[in-house]
Structure 1
Amino acid sequence: MARAVIFDFDGVIADTEKVHLDAFRKILAPEGVEILEADYFEKYLALDDKNFFTTLLRENGRDAGAEKVADFVKKKSLVTSEMLENCAFFEGALDLINSLAEARFPLAIASGALRKEIESVLVRGGVADCFSFIASAEDCEKCKPAPEIFLYALKGLNSSSTLSPPASARECVAIEDSSHGIAAAKAAGMKCVAVTNSHPAEALLSADLITLSLREIDAEKIASF
């Protein structure tokens, strides 16, 4: 039986993936680096900002030194913060978060987004207080599909919530939107619900449950895992 839920953020709670793509494009345009939308969603979606810039610069034969990448991450954060002020929430996401919190499920975020980006959107959605812990890009070196960020989120959740005894990975349900995210959750030993916000169902077949919308998921269904 599930005792805790860990959400991805971009593409699950908020419709922010294209916001990030537009911000990446704006920062990389002076370098002459183009990013096709199909490539972004297929190849780069799970990368945090640091790894995204490093990968794209290297693939295009540009300097990918640590100082330059750090500068790009900083510039992209400023651009993204402005764009996120008007981002939309996915159908059913806020209702699910609130219903899980009301059912006393400890909740966490495990995301490659920056902490301040996550927090600002959660506050705007009125659900920031529903989450006991946020694991963000600043916390882990390895991106999904590595399980590191989910394991870190679980550790933080056990430390900052009222879970007693501590929840094990097999008692956690992760909610994801990408194959890399699913792989990370499964590698961490968690069950995974995948929502088709960013990819079609056939790309998410390794999930334990696939849904077209989080409106179709409720606390009772989560508890049944």
Structure 2
Amino acid sequence: MSGWPAAGRAALFDFDGTIVDSEMVVASVLLELLAEDGAVATLADIGPVFGGSSAETYRVWTAILTRLCGPNVDVADMDRRLEERSAPRLSTAPVRAGAVELVRAARRAGWRVGLGTGRRRAQLTAELARLGLANAFDAICTVDDVAHGKPEPDIYLALADDLDVPPARCAVVEDSLPGVRAALAAGMPVLLCPSPVTAACHFPAAVRRIDSLTMGLDELAGLLDDEPPNILVV
């Protein structure tokens, strides 16, 4: 789209691991399954695969399982077991501290707000309703809406287009390595708040890293070279 407003700015949020603490749920199940199969693994071993939804992510996933379990690992069977055991626990995954407050503060400050996720849209719709966030975003882009998921830039570029804000004026809030790579490939500044699952990943230097989303709005404004808005996060 053309005609982006010069003063326009947007906050784009990842979902899993950024807004909702779902990655720890899945990671805990995965570590259980690996232990049952005789593999020894830590969060640092599996963290790099979280947050991605592309063919590249699947290659990384396969390589991690092969390294941990050996060349005869059945990746499809692990996928099935992981999904079956994770699903009941994901239905009660809590929001991350400060995440909802940051979304609401950005909107009060006049930002456009988008959600970009590797989730399927049907799953996401139910989760947003459960968390009371069904109407919290001006635009939503899921893996169903683009040709390539993260770490490709498609999701975040589609959001910028939907929000009518240039990519350079979109600050992305992410927790994962594939998500960070997607945002940077889209030409967007990144506020990184890793989850416990992704904390040990080796992230690019071109991000601003914080430990908590509680004071994230000032950080977002700084990414776009704005004066921090006079908004109290409550």
TM norm structure 2: 0.71
Deviations along 1:34-54, one digit per CA (max 9) or x if unpaired, are 58333210x311333877666
Question: 1:1-225 counterparts in 2 under 5 A?
Answer: 3-22=9-28, 36=41, 37-41=43-47, 43-48=48-53, 56=61, 59=66, 60-61=71-72, 79-155=85-161, 157-158=162-163, 166-198=164-196, 199-200=198-199, 203-204=202-203, 206-218=205-217, 221-224=219-222, 225=224
How many Å separate the matches in 2 of 1:134 and 1:212?
25
How many Å separate the matches in 2 of 1:170 and 1:125?
30
Deviations along 1:21-72, one digit per CA (max 9) or x if unpaired, are 3555788999x6958333210x3113338776666457444677xxx69xx5
State whether residues 54 and 151 of structure 2, in contact with CA within 8 Å, keep that contact through their aligned partners in structure 1: no
Deviation larger for 204-213 or 185-194 = 204-213
Q: Which runs of 5+ in 2 are unaligned?
A: 1-6, 225-234
Deviations along 1:142-201, one digit per CA (max 9) or x if unpaired, are 34222122112222x33xxxxxxx211011010111233222111101111111324448
Q: Any idea what SS the aligned residue of 1:184 has?
A: helix
State whether residues 57 and 63 of structure 1, in contact with CA within 8 Å, keep that contact through their aligned partners in structure 2: no
Q: Any idea what SS the aligned residue of 2:128 has?
A: helix
Letter in 1 for 2:11: V
Greater percentage in helix:
1
How many Å separate the matches in 1 of 2:146 and 2:34?
24
> Cα 1:179–1:83, aligned 2, differ >3 Å: closer, same or farther?
same
Q: Any idea what SS the aligned residue of 2:151 has?
A: coil
Letter in 1 for 2:174: E
> Cα 1:204–1:49, aligned 2, differ >3 Å: closer, same or farther?
closer
How many Å separate the matches in 2 of 1:54 and 1:133?
30
How many Å separate the matches in 1 of 2:203 and 2:40?
23
Q: Any idea what SS the aligned residue of 1:86 has?
A: coil
Shift of 1:76: 5.7
How many Å separate the matches in 1 of 2:12 and 2:154?
13
RMSD: 3.5
TM norm structure 1: 0.73
Q: Which runs of 5+ in 1 are unaligned?
A: 159-165
How many Å separate the matches in 1 of 2:152 and 2:54?
16
